[in-house]
């Protein structure tokens, strides 16, 4: 969706600046451990590493366990003291979520389109409920608990990474003692404590979290954090945790209720209602028989623009819309709401709804500092890999779509389409977790580029996160800005479908490409590369020393010989002759764009024209109409689009 202009509390465009020494605690805390040599890592003179060494020693927690938990929480980043989407702070993601609750907003609530995507029912936008802060679950208030255990102030636990690490160690040690387990230096003995640290209130979610931590311990990790420090955790491939401890955690047993999830995640059934209201209106999804009736071709990634409890309230409201799965930030727990065979109303484009599965991730588009946890990224990636295997969905950016990549079905809907998960979703890391990293597949003559900036160092300016027109806080981004010439002072690329001048606004997609998207190369000039985009030549800065794209090759479409241009569509509907009696013919209406001769666009799929007729509560009249006309899905702009196969020819990108 479009990000709220009132979500963050910090002043736009400014982040707190702290010295490394001050941020990581006093010299007295670090000096006793100088020269220590923790296993598999650098010298303890590294400040953040020293914080882990100190906390592990003081609270008698194995260093590897502390590092493994922190990696799953934050990938060892400090986020400069900014909270996650659930009010989690620092390397240990200690939560104090009272502030996060005040940002709750309804998803699908600001657009003009029906999220079902065909106008068959009026858009209804119930108000999101903000939970009472006094009733927060334990998983959302671990920071105050850490303050009690350490004697440190809540402010220090939020802003000082060394204190934050100490707070996490104290919580782990307290969980170990509560389980009646010794403060052992063998990481295998801490499985139950790690499960409790997750904050999950059921054994399945806690076990999935602990299993992820121990996967990190077995494989090891190494990365440069957001403070510019390189941290490493040595692999322990033979580590076998004592999983029997889980039975002593006292956590409830969750009934998965026939959910469609891999065994490696925690999943519960929270059904979206299928109810009739009268006067032909009903909600909040349609019953279907996928994949027997029609294929599932896409998975759509959303963010919730609301907190977990708020989102569950909304999806259980029969007057609202629906999606298939929700994912929780703190521990990656999943709730399934709509079976894959049925059609959820989530994408704002009925053709895409009928061919997709929608995943909502607890998060806020326009709050750059409200970071997503590694636990949620990993859980989401496992779910997507599972669904991709089940339904033969390719793991690429023309099948794993952001909501912001879904096209408007008709010209009038283009300006109101959604923009989540936005520029701060880390697509590069996400696809690494999917096992499909974006690697170069050709030299400079391959004819294509795959957008792939370095997330942390790629920080284009966005505006409007807090106040319209004012800069957002500087932050890493998955997206790259497009210009009309090889000069950052030239005009931004314009999207004629939006009807407005382009801006650097956080919700303005007119001049942005996203990590993993592929485009045909139109020109090169020094450190600049031009691509074909929305029928135009669009330039982006692509310096050799810090490239924002890698070379690729593949198949592209271009207008058939003799055609000056061809129309572009937001849905692949059948020709009129394909519709049986009783099913209204749907218009094959082009969008306000043209694909000109001489330009090339990357192919995602060749698909038949298809329409799922389902506008009644009863399913007897539901039909899938399939035509003879074929379409190609293409990467046209920031969003995908469709062209008729009869209008274009397919050629290799090279040459």
pLDDT 10s digits, 50-60: 999 999 999 99
> Which range, of 76-80, 191-195, 513-517, averages the lowest pLDDT?
76-80
Q: How confident is the model over 611-617, as a mean pLDDT?
A: 95
Span 165-193, average pLDDT: 98
Listed in sequence order, the residues at least 6 apart from 50 whose beta carbon sits closer than 8 Å to its beta carbon are 24, 29, 30, 33, 34, 44, 162
CA nearest 369: which of 46, 83, 12?
Answer: 83
Work out the average pLDDT over 139-156.
Answer: 94
Compute the 3-state secondary structure of the chain and give helix, strand, coil in percent, each to the nearest 5.
Answer: 25, 20, 55
Q: What pLDDT, on a 0 to 100 scale, did the predictor assign at position 13?
A: 34
Give CA–CA dist 477/456, Å, rounded. Answer: 7
The full 3-state SS of 472-516, as one line of letters, equals CCCCCCCEEECECCCCCCCCECCCCCCCCCCCCECCCCCCEEECC
Distance separating alpha carbons of residues 388 and 371, to the nearest angstrom: 26
CATH architecture for residues 267-518: 3-Layer(aba) Sandwich (3.40)
Looking at residue 126, what is its pLDDT?
Answer: 57
Q: How confident is the model at residue 337 (pLDDT cuts 50, 70, 90)?
A: very high
Q: Sheet holding 536-541: strands in order across?
A: 536-541, 528-533, 518-525, 448-451, 549-552
Confidence of residue 47 (pLDDT cuts 50, 70, 90): confident
573-605: per-residue pLDDT in tens? 999 999 999 999 999 999 999 999 999 999 999
Number of Cβ atoms within 10 Å of the Cβ of 107:
27
Q: How many CB atoms lie within 10 A of CB 542?
A: 22
Range of weakest confidence among 114-118, 194-198, 209-213, 449-453: 114-118
The reply to whether omega before 440 is within 30° of 0 (cis) is no
| DSSP labels, 144-180 | HHHHHHH---HHHHHH-HHHHHHHHHHHHHHHHHHTT
* Cβ pair 573, 588 in contact under 8 A: yes
What percentage of the chain reaches a pLDDT higher than 70? 88
In the chain, % of residues over pLDDT 90: 76
Q: Token pair 């890592």 is at which residue?
A: 41
Using CA atoms, how far apart are residues 531 and 304, in angstroms rounded to an integer?
Answer: 32
Which band of pLDDT confidence, cut at 50, 70 and 90, is reported for residue 135? low
Question: Has this prediction a pTM greater than 0.85?
Answer: yes
pLDDT for residue 15: 34
One DSSP character per residue, 578-595 reads: GPPTTSPPPP-PEEEEEE
Instruction: Report how far Cα 287 is from the mean position of its chain's Cα atoms.
Output: 27
How is residue 347 written in tokens? 């994408």
Mean per-residue pLDDT, 193-215: 95
pLDDT tens for 541-563 read 999 999 999 999 999 999 999 99
249: its two tokens:
């955690």
CB 50 within 8 A of CB 24: yes
Distance CA 89, CA 82 (A): 6
3-state secondary structure of 566: strand
Q: How confident is the model at residue 134 (pLDDT cuts 50, 70, 90)?
A: low
**Is the fold of 20-97+136-248 the same as that of 267-518?**
no
Quote the CA–CA distance of 511 and 120 in Å, as a whole number.
32
Alpha carbon distance 157, 255 (integer Å): 36
**Among 1.10.10, 1.10.530, 1.10.760, 1.10.12, what is the CATH number of 20-97+136-248?**
1.10.530
What pLDDT is attached to residue 132?
55
Closest residue by Cα to residue 260 from 355, 382, 348, 372: 382
Q: What is d(CA 33, CA 51) in angstroms, rounded to the nearest whole number?
A: 10
Model pLDDT, residue 648: 98
For residue 548 the two structure tokens come to: 């924002």
Beta strands in 247-352 (DSSP E): 267-269, 275-278, 281-283, 285-286, 298-303, 325-327, 334-336, 343-344
* pLDDT tens, position by position, 506-547: 999 999 999 999 999 999 999 999 999 999 999 999 999 999
- Nearest alpha-carbon partner for 144 in 131, 156, 162, 132: 156
With 80 as the cut, is the pLDDT of residue 10 above it? no
Q: Between the CA of residue 609 and those of 135, 288, 349, 606, what are the distances in Å?
A: 50, 18, 15, 10
- Strands (E) located in 597-639: 601-613, 623-635
Cis peptide bond upstream of 511, omega within 30: no
pLDDT at 312: 92
Q: Is the alpha carbon torsion for 399, 402, 405, 410 positive or negative?
A: positive
Burial class (CB in 10 A: 0-12, 13-18, 19+), 550: middle
**How do the domains of the chain map onto residue ranges?**
20-97+136-248, 267-518, 558-652
Paired tokens of 344: 């959820």
Phi-psi region of 383 (alpha: psi -120 to 50; beta: other; left: phi over 0): alpha
Q: What is the rounded CA–CA span in Å between residue 45 and residue 43?
A: 5
Average pLDDT in the 460-484 region? 93
Q: What is the pLDDT of residue 26?
A: 30
Average pLDDT, the chain: 89
Instruction: List the structure tokens of 362.
Output: 């607890």
**Is it the case that residue 127 has pLDDT exceeding 70?**
no
Residues 6+ apart with CB under 8 A from 290: 296, 340, 341, 342, 343
Tell whether the torsion through CA atoms of 204, 205, 210 and 213 is positive or negative.
positive
Per residue in 405-458, pLDDT (tens digit) is 999 999 999 999 999 999 999 999 999 999 999 999 999 999 999 999 999 999
Confidence (pLDDT) at 31: 29
Alpha-carbon gap, residue 385 to 395, rounded angstroms: 8
Max Cα-Cα span within the chain: 83
Distance from C-alpha of 80 to C-alpha of 90, rounded to nearest angstrom = 8
Bridge partners for 541 per DSSP: 528
Q: Which residues pair with 556 in a beta bridge?
A: 602, 651
More confident residue, 130 or 497: 497
């Amino acid at each position: 969706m479009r990000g709220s202009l009132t979500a963050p509390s910090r002043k736009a465009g400014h982040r707190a600046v702290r010295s490394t020494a001050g941020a990581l605690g006093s010299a007295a805390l670090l000096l006793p451990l100088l020269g220590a040599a923790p296993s598999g890592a650098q010298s303890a003179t590294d400040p953040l590493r020293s914080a882990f060494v100190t906390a592990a020693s003081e609270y008698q927690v194995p260093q590897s366990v502390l590092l493994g938990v922190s990696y799953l929480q934050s990938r060892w980043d400090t986020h400069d003291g900014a909270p996650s989407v659930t009010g989690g702070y620092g390397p240990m993601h200690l939560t104090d979520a009272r502030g996060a609750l005040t940002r709750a907003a309804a998803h699908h609530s600001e657009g003009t389109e029906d999220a079902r995507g065909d106008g068959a029912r009026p858009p209804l936008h119930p108000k999101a409920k903000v939970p009472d802060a006094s009733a927060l679950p334990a998983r959302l208030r671990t920071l105050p608990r850490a303050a009690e255990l350490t004697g440190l102030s809540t402010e220090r636990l939020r802003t000082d990474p060394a204190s934050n690490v100490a707070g996490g160690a104290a919580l782990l040690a307290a969980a170990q003692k509560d389980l009646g387990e010794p403060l052992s230096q063998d990481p295998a003995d801490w499985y139950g404590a790690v499960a409790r640290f997750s904050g999950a209130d059921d054994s399945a979610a806690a076990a999935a979290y602990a299993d992820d931590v121990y996967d990190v311990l077995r494989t090891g990790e190494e990365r440069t954090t957001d403070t510019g420090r390189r941290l490493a955790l040595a692999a322990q491939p033979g580590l076998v945790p004592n999983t029997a401890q889980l039975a002593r955690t006292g956590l409830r047993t969750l009934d998965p209720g026939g959910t469609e999830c891999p065994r490696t995640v925690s999943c519960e059934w929270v059904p979206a209602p299928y109810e009739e209201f009268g006067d032909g209106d009903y909600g909040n999804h349609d019953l279907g028989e996928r994949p027997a009736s029609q294929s599932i071709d896409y998975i759509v990634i959303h963010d919730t623009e609301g907190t977990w409890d708020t989102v569950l309230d909304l999806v259980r409201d029969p007057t609202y819309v629906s999606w298939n799965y929700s994912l929780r930030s703190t521990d990656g727990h999943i709730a399934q709401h709509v079976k894959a065979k049925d059609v959820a109303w989530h994408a704002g484009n009925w053709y895409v709804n009928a061919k997709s599965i929608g995943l909502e991730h607890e998060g806020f588009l326009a709050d750059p500092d409200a970071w997503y946890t590694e636990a949620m990224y990993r859980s989401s990636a496992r779910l997507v890999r599972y669904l991709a295997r089940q339904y033969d969905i390719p793991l690429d950016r023309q099948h794993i779509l952001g909501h912001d990549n879904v096209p408007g079905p008709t010209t009038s809907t283009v300006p109101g389409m959604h923009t989540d998960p936005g520029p701060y979703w880390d697509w590069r890391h996400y696809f690494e977790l999917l096992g499909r990293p974006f690697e170069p597949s050709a030299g400079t003559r391959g004819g294509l580029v795959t957008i792939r900036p370095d997330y942390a160092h790629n920080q284009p300016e966005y505006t409007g996160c807090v106040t319209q027109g004012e800069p957002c806080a500087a932050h890493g981004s998955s997206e790259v800005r497009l210009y009309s010439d090889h000069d950052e002072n030239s005009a931004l690329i314009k999207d004629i479908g939006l009807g407005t001048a382009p801006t650097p606004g956080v919700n303005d997609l007119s001049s942005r490409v996203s990590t993993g998207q592929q485009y045909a190369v139109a020109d090169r000039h020094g450190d600049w590369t031009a691509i074909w985009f929305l029928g135009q030549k669009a330039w982006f800065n692509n310096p050799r020393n810090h490239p924002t794209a890698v070379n690729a090759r593949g198949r592209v479409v271009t207008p058939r010989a003799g055609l000056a241009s061809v129309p572009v569509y937001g849905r692949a509907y059948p020709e009129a002759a394909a519709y049986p009696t009783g099913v209204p013919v749907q218009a094959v209406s082009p969008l306000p764009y043209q694909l000109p001769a001489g330009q090339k666009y990357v192919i995602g799929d060749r698909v038949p024209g298809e329409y799922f007729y389902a506008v009644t509560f009863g399913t007897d009249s539901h039909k899938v109409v399939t035509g003879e006309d074929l379409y190609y899905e293409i990467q046209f702009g920031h969003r995908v689009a469709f062209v008729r196969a009869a209008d274009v020819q397919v050629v290799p990108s090279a040459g």
